[in-house]
Amino acid sequence: MMIGEIAALSNAAVWALTGVVTKSIDRDVRPVHIVTAHAWLGITIFLIAGLATGKIDDLFNTPTRSVLILGGGALFNTLGSLVFWMAITRGSVSKVYPTTQSLFILVSILTSWAVLGESPGIGIAAGAPLIIGGVVLLNWRTQNAGGAGDSEGGLTVPLLAMAAALLWSAAFVTAAEALKDTEPLAGATIRNIVPAITYLMVTIFMPSSRLTRVPRVAYPRILLSGVFFAYGAFSFVFALDRAPAGVVAVLINTAPMWALALSFVFLGERLTKFSVIGVGFSLLGIVAVLAFG
């Protein structure tokens, strides 16, 4: 296994761990507080890392074209996150997550082929359907499980889920293109400037979203989740710099598998037969991508 593939898999695991830690934060902490803290903690960590490693000059030597592409991609990513949360608030996770993630994988692979010239290999062709199937099973709910009805949200929910996937795919491909001329640490820093500024503007116009409104008891977990977020943001661009975009798109979307295991261990969430089978599908998909990629 190459270092890029390792980075992609670790990205998926740490994103899942970020979610587990975030879920354990006090309920009085709003999502806008968390994403604001993550964005600014990420920027701070990247700048400190740049100074410590002597790579801060890479940030200022990044070609203007790459800066603009990364900035545009970050805007797509931020909008995608906003649309995704809109879908989640209107529909059920069991419908929104598989739709978004499956479409993201498919669109990212196709656009990587069309835009970046990366022809999908047999590993991606075999692994992607298995991982998509695993995602669907991991989020499967029976009709008697108390899940949302099929008509919940009408067409709005699936349309929002698809829009989020398309926006995230655009952010993914633009990042892969820009990283051809950008060092990973500089790329991660630039990519997080847009959301950091966006959330800063939100706190200016929405006093209730300011971090000063967060109970101090929640600070340690927010800080920990912010550190995980920063690693996830860096490992994403590092993986794209060292591995084919199509492979990265598939491997980072094994996050639900890691989330299931971590939530079972740390949050006591129960396993179902669908989730166990879903994990099996995801593992087979990972093996296919790594063995034949």
Q: What is the pTM of this model?
A: 0.83
Query: Can you give the residue range of the structural domain that contains 62?
Result: 3-292
- Digit-by-digit pLDDT tens for the chain (293 residues) are 589 999 999 999 998 888 778 777 777 787 788 888 888 999 999 999 999 999 999 999 999 999 999 999 999 988 988 888 778 767 766 677 778 888 898 899 989 988 888 888 888 888 999 988 888 887 776 444 444 444 455 678 888 889 999 999 999 999 999 998 899 999 999 999 988 888 888 888 888 888 888 888 888 988 998 999 999 999 999 999 999 999 999 999 888 788 778 878 877 777 788 888 888 998 899 888 888 76
- How many structural domains comprise the chain? 1
Which 3-state string (H, E, C) describes the chain? CCHHHHHHHHHHHHHHHHHHHHHCCCCCCCHHHHHHHHHHHHHHHHHHHHHHHCCHHHHHCCCHHHHHHHHHHHHHHHHHHHHHHHHHHHCCHHHHHHHHHHHHHHHHHHHHHHHHCCCCCHHHHHHHHHHHHHHHHHCCCCCCCCCCCCCCCCCHHHHHHHHHHHHHHHHHHHHHHHHHHCCHHHHHHHHHHHHHHHHHHHHHHCHHHCHHHCCHHHHHHHHHHHHHHHHHHHHHHHHHHHCCHHHHHHHHHHHHHHHHHHHHHHCCCCCCHHHHHHHHHHHHHHHHHHHHC
